[in-house]
Structure 1
Amino acid sequence: MSNNEEIVISDIKDSTAAFEEALSRTGDVKYVLRLYVVGMGPKSVQAVDNIKHICEEYLPGRYQLEVVDIYQYPVFATDGQIVAAPTLIKELPLPLRKLIGSMADTERVLVGMDLKSKTDKQ
């Protein structure tokens, strides 16, 4: 592993720890999300746009989203146990959830992030 990868891993852990600390002070339910993509091809761009739109609509000011390009940082694919991309991981609030795909199905994403139950109607 190169020094650059170590710095990036450390930065992500530090930013998540700072976010968790801020969360504990405010008492608000905040979401820590990590979206793994491969390069910035059409599928990756679509997944990023879709999840940003969902977060802004349903979690304004209550989320931290990191986009990780596993093409540039393959160590993250191993560390995050990523078998397909795009993959969204909801780290907080617990329980941890993984969603695979373009994030185009808003209902599926909301259910996967525990923002909506499967039985909720719009």
Structure 2
Amino acid sequence: MKRILIVDDAATVRMYHRNILESAGFVVEEAVNGLEALEKALQTPFDLYLVDINMPKLDGFGFLRELRSEAIPQAPAIMVSTESEANDRLNAYKAGANVYLVKPVKPVQLLTHAHLLLGESR
């Protein structure tokens, strides 16, 4: 079972993404900001991270930069944001994101990227 951590401060967004991922058989955990996500990731690494940009305490960019600097097994990250500026996309990749998606993310789009990043063919 592949484990995915959803990092988003909006409960509705977490629930939306959780429903899509769980329906595809993934085990999902949640964090409300980058700080909580980092604590969880350092306890037990995940197979994939689904990360929002704008969050209190530690934003998505900060979370990925911190995560990527840790000496733990690194998993791919999908950054999701309402921001569609080229600059945000560039900063996401610089911080360590593998894919950048603009909200709202369609279920098939999310699952396609998740399966690809996890090396699963569907």
Larger Cα-atom Rg: 1
Give TM class, smaller chain.
0.3 to 0.5
TM-score, scaled relative to structure 2: 0.41
